Structure 1
Amino acid sequence: MSDLTHFNEQGRAKMVDVSDKQETVRIAVACSSIEVNRLIHSQISEGTNKKGDVFAVAQVAGIMAAKQTSSIIPMCHPIPLTGVNISFQWDIDESAGRYVVRIEAEAKTKGVTGVEMEALTAASAAALTIYDMCKAAGKDMVIGPTYLQHKSGGKNGDYDRS
C-alpha cells in the first residue's frame, strides 16, 4: 500500500501530507459547456430570464464553488485562492439549432498544492447554475464535457490539453 498516496498503512483513505512541498504560483484553467435551446439562448442574450442575469449569477456561483472545493471533494486540501475568473462565450450553429455556452474557469494560488480541482469545480458549478436559472424554459439542456485545459506550477510541471 505504500505506493498509494491517499491510503494510510491500514489501507484507509487519508489526505496527503503536503507540508514538505515547495510553494509556487499555480494556475489551472478548466472548461465546461452547456447546450441550450433557442428560447433559453434568447432569454440569456436579451436579459429576459425571470430569475435574472444568468451569466452574472453563474459567475458568482463558480467563484463561490471554487472557494468551497475542499468542502465537497473529500481529499482536496483547503487552499488560499489568489484569483478566480469565469468567462462565457456562445458557440452558435443556427442551421443545426445548436446554442452552446462555453465556460472557462481559471483558478490561481501561491501554495503547495494545485488548483485543478478548484477550476473544475468552478466550471461545473457555473454550468449547473445556468441549468438551474433556465430550467423553466426547457429541461433538455446538456452539460459537458468538462475538462482541464491547462495547469502550471508545481513539481509535475505544466500541462496543456492538445
Structure 2
Amino acid sequence: MSQLSHINDEGKANMVDVGHKPQQVRIAKASGYIQLQPETLKLINKSLIKKGDVITIAEIAGIQAAKETSRLIPLCHPLQLTKVEVKATTEKDGVRVNSLTKCIGQTGVEMEALTAVSMALLTIYDMCKAVDKKMVMSDIKLESKEKKDQ
C-alpha cells in the first residue's frame, strides 16, 4: 500500500503541499440520491412543503456548501472556485442531485463536488423530515474529475 498523502512520517495529520504543482483547470462532477415517499414527492412538486421550495433551497445549500468545503473538512485546501452548479431533479421515488465544481488551481475539486451533493441531500432531508420518516440518502459518489492545462 502506498503512503497516505495526508499522514506525515510520524503518523500525524498533514496538509499536503501542492505549491509545486502547476495551475490547471480542475473540474469534478458528483451525484447522490434521496429516496422519498410518494406523498412527499407530491408535496415537493406542488410546493406544499411548509419550509419552502425544497428543490431551489437544496440547490442553493449545495452551492454554499461547496464554497465552505475547506472549513468543513480539516485537510482540504481552500480553493478559488470559478463555477459551482447544483441541480436537483425529482424522479419516480426521490430526488437526484448532481453537482459540478470548477477552479483553476493546484489541487482537485472532488471534495467540493461531493460536499455540494451531500449538503443538498441533507437540506432535502431537513425540509421534509416532518412529513417523511423513511427517507434514505444513498449513492453519493464522484462521477468524474479532470484536469487540463489552461
Q: TM-score scaled to structure 1, two decimals? A: 0.87
**1:109 pairs with 2:96:** no
Identity %: 47
Q: Tell me the alpha carbon deviations over residues 106-159 of structure 1, each in whole angstroms, 9 at most, x when there is no partner.
A: 11101000000000000000000000001111121000110000111069xxxx
Equivalent pairs counted in the alignment come to: 148
Report the counterpart of residue 144 of structure 2 in structure 1: 150
Counterparts of residues 1-162 of structure 1 (less than 5 Å): 3-92=3-92, 99-153=93-147
Q: Secondary structure at the match of 2:10?
A: coil
What is the CA-CA distance between 1:9 and the residue it aligns to? Answer: 3.0
Task: Give the deviation of 1:47 after TM superposition.
Answer: 0.6
| 1:67 CA displacement | 0.7
Unaligned runs of 5+ in 1: 93-98, 156-162
SS for the counterpart of 2:44 is: helix
SS in 2 for 1:137: coil
Separation in 2, partners of 1:3, 1:154: 26
The SS at the match of 1:146 is strand
Secondary structure at the counterpart of residue 98 of structure 2:
strand
Measured on the aligned residues, the alpha-carbon RMSD in Å equals: 1.5
* Cα offset, 1:6, TM superposition: 1.6
For the residues of structure 1 that align with 2:140 and 2:50, how far apart are their CA atoms? 27
Distance 1:130 1:142 in 2: 11
- The structural deviation recorded for 1:7 is 2.1
Alignment gaps of 5+ in structure 2:
none
1:11 CA drift (Å): 2.2
| Aligned-partner residue type, residue 101 of structure 2 | A
Report if the CA contact (8 A) 1:22-1:154 is conserved: no
Deviation of 1:73 (Å): 1.0
CA distance in 2, matches of 1:53, 1:91: 16
Pick which of 82-91 and 119-128 moved more: 82-91
- Kindly indicate whether the alpha-carbon contact (under 8 Å) linking 1:87 and 1:105 is maintained by their aligned counterparts in 2: yes
SS of equivalent residue, structure 2 residue 39: helix
Amino acid paired to 1:79: L
